[in-house]
Chains A and B, each alone.
Chain A
């Protein structure tokens, strides 16, 4: 094992040979040829098919449940209800490598008595065919007695509100107290107060949840599923009453995640059914079931009261944050702390007061979604900055410029950012790139918007996040990388190949990456929290450097040179500056093998560890580091129809070091598209907890007809904590896009729609209100 704190390491090449180049991702050709298997493409002999019976009501009591007919139906192998479970609950936490879990995240696996959201699972069926399983679901008799529910997060705070979670419906709450807010407001020339709200949205990965489970000859429950997190095997084992080593979760290439496959989805149902039947079981959600089956993005309501001096400096900020958790905790407390930490945005605020809480309701449960609370915070603080600029009569960019955090400044929690803070450069470059303004014509008005942001990468420091990675060289000089990290489409495995290739001087096509198996690949944590490249990339870098160090030492002896003089490139090892003294990697590896020099390494990378925040002041370190940047857009708004068209969209981000610029562009372009939909069209509409939009024709994601060209401006401060100075870009590419659109619409029509999405109806209503008020 390599230790990040003690291992003497060979240094990577100073001039990059692969890093920073737009190489074709190793996973791309197989996907384009149709050769890449996804979790749903696996089958086994004697396999059963599963279905889930879900509650049609969001708040109800299960009065009666009879599965006799379903069990007796020919071809039905198994029907499970709450009564059939050894242990009725499962933790909804992602404990990570420490195994530490929060106390309040357990939930019922199947409904015991109370239904708390529409779609909550009541029973599981396994049958010989999908059609028989569906028939069996129909044969289950049950009666639900509707109960009063609470469907509004503010209603949930009232003393007489139905209780969904604990004694007070509060799933989590935080506060930040810094400086003297009252004195700050007293010193203010202008105080600006506004409230902004966001909606439930859907991840809409193209591959619905799917998996296949079986029990092997060692009595290990194997689960192959589409997941961002193979490390739920521990929670699954606990729920099954098994030892942790008796549950194995492996992934496949994942057909999109965006946070929606971070929680347990089909895995536990599959494990229960395969244990009960002794046969392999497959479960594949329909698109509609995917809408009901996994947690959504949290709606937030965020109020800002901000004091400014006459020349636009922030004197004080008071922020009130409320989010809707649905009935269970899942990632809600974590999401809330991201939103709280990011509350004031990338601005220096010395007098700060934040109260935040996450309320339980009978709406669909909410969880991780790209940006993880920091996006909702950005939607509020960036609209607030534009509103303040209007009141102050100061240019929007100039107001931001006067308040931006700089390297070494404390963020909301008092933590001083050590890496580069290039928000201002990003903002200026994105704005400049908008170029000449499109001309307005007739009822169509043109508007422009900017949004800057601060987005963490890596997990909370008190989770003590680690990642392991293994690198070895075969006797023919080819390289193998093993990492538990899941690949959800952002190029996770390819980036590991690129890192190992850079360090060991071999081309990507000579590298094979094995990933996403909780039993045979070193555990690397989840592909979430913009931590994949940062954590797993560093682990693989450390492992590759250790191998390089040992091989380099042997090569130095071979050439009679110093180890520091040895370089690796093009599958050869040579004395730097003297390529005449060169040996092929294959020959060097053969020498090492014959002498017993270890050609492989398992390394662990540790993120910075810290303690929880001070509960009274909210001061301390939350994350290892942050990415900063900005997004600019130009929109056309038809004032007769209310329709908004995005004409230009430009993301400028300091990514530290782009490992693969094409992949970085992919994150910026895709993140922006998701932000465009978030701002304008996407909304899960719930009527008292009942979903009205459970299909892709009712839930409106951007298509090729709606999506503008997105321009990416990539800055590289090389100041990040990731490999070669990289920062994260998976979430940051998305975070500022929606508020930039909101600001552009407000710029175009002169009034603001304070709640997302900015639908044509809301635009028309805002214009009408403004006209009738005038």
Chain B
């Protein structure tokens, strides 16, 4: 058995005490805590379905040992918005047909959020493609995902301009 220790993990702004084994991935810990919106697709960093924000940067939670992320803020797709107050990325994905089976969607939205927050608020199509290249979608052919990210970026820029 791998040694275990209790640590505090803040998920979507809510600190929680969890017992975590040394060999446990962040994906396993998050899903074990009930954050099942974080999806498991390959556990090897090939598909990006498990992406979460770690201090605002997108990472594959399957490649991240939970012990190494103590004190860092974890954000999942549920932390971005709610039905009453969705994030523009969530609205755009739903309204632009970027969601089909939806299993990859949380990871794509996280990767897109990381792009818009950290790299550019006005990405060109090639920048979006590159930012999403670690995420795998088998349903859409990516067209509508690119459209959704472009649209959400515009909405966010307009919102920022208003303030």
A, B: real partners: yes
Chain A positions near chain B (C-beta within 8 angstroms): 22, 24-25, 27-38, 40-41, 203-208, 253-258, 284, 286-287, 488-491, 662-663, 665-666, 669-674, 695-697, 701-705, 707, 709-710
Please name all residues of chain A whose beta carbon is closer than 8 Å to the beta carbon of B40 when the two chains form the complex.
40, 208, 284
Please name all residues of chain A whose beta carbon is closer than 8 Å to the beta carbon of B133 when the two chains form the complex.
703-705
Please name all residues of chain B whose beta carbon is closer than 8 Å to the beta carbon of A255 when the two chains form the complex.
39, 101-104
> If the complex has contacts A666-B139, A670-B138, A673-B142, are A33 and B86 also in contact, measured as CB distance less than 8 A?
yes
9 new A-B pairs (CB below 8 Å) besides A672-B141, A695-B42, A695-B44? Answer: A25-B99, A32-B77, A34-B77, A287-B41, A287-B43, A669-B144, A670-B100, A670-B140, A707-B143
The contact of A256 among B37, B93, B130, B138, by CB within 8 Å, is B138
Whether B20 is near chain A, meaning CB under 8 Å from some CB there, is no
A258–B138 touching, CB < 8 Å? yes
Please name all residues of chain A whose beta carbon is closer than 8 Å to the beta carbon of B26 when the two chains form the complex.
none
Please name all residues of chain A whose beta carbon is closer than 8 Å to the beta carbon of B73 when the two chains form the complex.
none
The contact of B90 among A22, A25, A29, by CB within 8 Å, is A29
Taken together as a complex, chains A and B put the C-alpha atoms of A709 and B97 apart, in Å, by: 15
Taken together as a complex, chains A and B put the C-alpha atoms of A452 and B38 apart, in Å, by: 41
Say how far A693's CB is from chain B's closest CB, in angstroms.
Answer: 12
B94–A205 touching, CB < 8 Å? no
Please name all residues of chain A whose beta carbon is closer than 8 Å to the beta carbon of B140 when the two chains form the complex.
666, 669-670, 673
Please name all residues of chain B whose beta carbon is closer than 8 Å to the beta carbon of A37 when the two chains form the complex.
36
A33–B136 touching, CB < 8 Å? no
Please name all residues of chain B whose beta carbon is closer than 8 Å to the beta carbon of A254 when the two chains form the complex.
101
Please name all residues of chain B whose beta carbon is closer than 8 Å to the beta carbon of A286 when the two chains form the complex.
43
B103–A38 touching, CB < 8 Å? yes
Say how far A643's CB is from chain B's closest CB, in angstroms.
Answer: 17
Taken together as a complex, chains A and B put the C-alpha atoms of A24 and B98 apart, in Å, by: 10
Please name all residues of chain B whose beta carbon is closer than 8 Å to the beta carbon of A663 when the two chains form the complex.
97
Nearest 9 CB-CB pairings of A with B: A489-B101, A31-B102, A255-B103, A34-B37, A673-B141, A669-B141, A28-B94, A696-B46, A34-B77
Taken together as a complex, chains A and B put the C-alpha atoms of A283 and B161 apart, in Å, by: 49
Say how far A633's CB is from chain B's closest CB, in angstroms.
Answer: 13
Whether B116 is near chain A, meaning CB under 8 Å from some CB there, is no
> If the complex has contacts A33-B81, A704-B133, are A206 and B49 also in contact, measured as CB distance less than 8 A?
yes
Please name all residues of chain A whose beta carbon is closer than 8 Å to the beta carbon of B142 when the two chains form the complex.
673, 703-704, 707
Say how far A75's CB is from chain B's closest CB, in angstroms.
Answer: 11
Q: Which of B78-93 contact A (CB under 8 A)?
A: 78, 81-83, 86, 89-91, 93
A707–B42 touching, CB < 8 Å? no
The contact of A35 among B37, B39, B93, by CB within 8 Å, is B37
> If the complex has contacts A32-B90, A34-B106, are A207 and B101 also in contact, measured as CB distance less than 8 A?
yes
B93–A32 touching, CB < 8 Å? yes
Whether B146 is near chain A, meaning CB under 8 Å from some CB there, is yes
Of A205, A256, A672, most buried by chain B (CB within 10 Å of CB) is A256
Please name all residues of chain A whose beta carbon is closer than 8 Å to the beta carbon of B96 when the two chains form the complex.
662
A-B contact pairs, 27 of them (CB 8 A): A25-B97, A28-B97, A30-B102, A32-B89, A33-B78, A38-B103, A40-B36, A41-B36, A204-B136, A205-B101, A206-B103, A206-B104, A207-B103, A208-B41, A253-B102, A254-B101, A255-B101, A255-B103, A257-B101, A284-B40, A286-B43, A666-B139, A670-B138, A701-B136, A704-B128, A704-B132, A704-B135
The contact of B101 among A488, A674, A696, A705, by CB within 8 Å, is A488
Taken together as a complex, chains A and B put the C-alpha atoms of A218 and B47 apart, in Å, by: 41
> If the complex has contacts A34-B77, A710-B141, are A28 and B102 also in contact, measured as CB distance less than 8 A?
yes
B42–A696 touching, CB < 8 Å? yes
B86–A665 touching, CB < 8 Å? no
Interface readout for B97-131 with A: 1 if CB under 8 Å, 0 if not? 10111111110010000000000000000001110
Please name all residues of chain B whose beta carbon is closer than 8 Å to the beta carbon of A702 when the two chains form the complex.
141
Interface readout for B45-77 with A: 1 if CB under 8 Å, 0 if not? 011010000000000000000000000000011
- Measured CB to CB, the nearest residue on chain A to B96 is A662
Of B37, B77, B100, B136, most buried by chain A (CB within 10 Å of CB) is B100
Taken together as a complex, chains A and B put the C-alpha atoms of A704 and B82 apart, in Å, by: 27
B102–A696 touching, CB < 8 Å? no
- Measured CB to CB, the nearest residue on chain B to A204 is B138
- Measured CB to CB, the nearest residue on chain A to B90 is A32
B97–A662 touching, CB < 8 Å? yes
Of B40, B83, B102, most buried by chain A (CB within 10 Å of CB) is B102
> If the complex has contacts A28-B99, A32-B105, A33-B81, are A669 and B143 also in contact, measured as CB distance less than 8 A?
yes
Taken together as a complex, chains A and B put the C-alpha atoms of A294 and B158 apart, in Å, by: 47
> If the complex has contacts A35-B83, A206-B137, A704-B146, are A666 and B97 also in contact, measured as CB distance less than 8 A?
yes
Please name all residues of chain B whose beta carbon is closer than 8 Å to the beta carbon of A38 when the two chains form the complex.
39, 103
Taken together as a complex, chains A and B put the C-alpha atoms of A207 and B156 apart, in Å, by: 31
Please name all residues of chain B whose beta carbon is closer than 8 Å to the beta carbon of A253 when the two chains form the complex.
101-102
Whether B11 is near chain A, meaning CB under 8 Å from some CB there, is no
Whether B27 is near chain A, meaning CB under 8 Å from some CB there, is no
A491–B43 touching, CB < 8 Å? no
- Measured CB to CB, the nearest residue on chain A to B140 is A670
A704–B129 touching, CB < 8 Å? yes
A33–B83 touching, CB < 8 Å? yes
- Measured CB to CB, the nearest residue on chain A to B139 is A670
Say how far B75's CB is from chain A's closest CB, in angstroms.
Answer: 11
Say how far B102's CB is from chain A's closest CB, in angstroms.
Answer: 3
Taken together as a complex, chains A and B put the C-alpha atoms of A670 and B49 apart, in Å, by: 18
The contact of B103 among A22, A32, A256, by CB within 8 Å, is A256
Please name all residues of chain A whose beta carbon is closer than 8 Å to the beta carbon of B139 when the two chains form the complex.
256, 489-490, 666, 670
Please name all residues of chain B whose beta carbon is closer than 8 Å to the beta carbon of A35 when the two chains form the complex.
37, 78, 83
A24–B138 touching, CB < 8 Å? no
Say how far A486's CB is from chain B's closest CB, in angstroms.
Answer: 11
Of B101, B135, B144, most buried by chain A (CB within 10 Å of CB) is B101
- Measured CB to CB, the nearest residue on chain A to B38 is A34
Please name all residues of chain B whose beta carbon is closer than 8 Å to the beta carbon of A709 when the two chains form the complex.
143
A701–B109 touching, CB < 8 Å? no
- Measured CB to CB, the nearest residue on chain B to A257 is B101
Taken together as a complex, chains A and B put the C-alpha atoms of A35 and B90 apart, in Å, by: 12
